[in-house]
Amino acid sequence: MGDAENLPFEEASFDLVTCRFAAHHFPDLKKAVGEIARVLKPGGIFLLVDHYAPEETELDVFVNQLNRLRDPSHVRESSLSEWQDLLTQHGLFYREIMKWDLPIQFQSWVERSGTPYEVREKLVQMLKTASLLCQASFRITFAEDGNPRSFCLKAVLLHGVK
């Protein structure tokens, strides 16, 4: 076991490396991808499932602020172009296998993380005052009482080959 930026394995140790809904918490994503590439054998595969930020700056800023407010361990949801650059820089062929909207039920989302009440109120206000672009892109819905019911995060399955 080790952290993603300093994997305790020899070079070319693995045929497959996976990462599931964790990369947006890595303090140094570039270093982590370098480590993944280092421990992969030639022809080895990297599979990543994670949230990603849309390319549009307004949407990127919104989703990253939303997630960081709820969970301070959130570092950054990278855009797909950032992922492509990172993998390519580290000698990995980049391919998007699948993209989808990941539905999030607001109440469950804040309860799972133990989000304090005052932070929940900030999240509610952030969703209520989201621009029309953010509301449409993240499919923000509201209950009859005006509070957020649900939204979606953008998710992707990426395939990198060394």
Q: Where are the domains of the chain?
A: 14-161
- The per-residue pLDDT for 2 is 65
Q: Residues 79-130: pLDDT tens digits?
A: 999 999 999 999 999 999 999 999 999 999 999 999 999 999 999 999 999 9
Question: In CATH, which of 3.40.50.150, 3.30.360.10, 3.30.1490.20, 3.30.70.20 is domain 14-161?
Answer: 3.40.50.150
Q: Residues 71-89: pLDDT tens digits?
A: 999 999 999 999 999 999 9
Largest interatomic CA distance in the chain = 56
In the numeric block, which tokens belong to residue 109? 């989302």
Q: Read off the pTM.
A: 0.94
Q: Residues 7-61: pLDDT tens digits?
A: 999 999 999 999 999 999 999 999 999 999 999 999 999 999 999 999 999 999 9
Band the pLDDT of 3: cuts 50, 70, 90: confident
Q: What is the dihedral of CA 16, 101, 56, 88, to 10 degrees?
A: 10
Q: Rounded to an integer, what distance in angstroms lies between the CA atom of residue 134 and that of residue 33?
A: 29
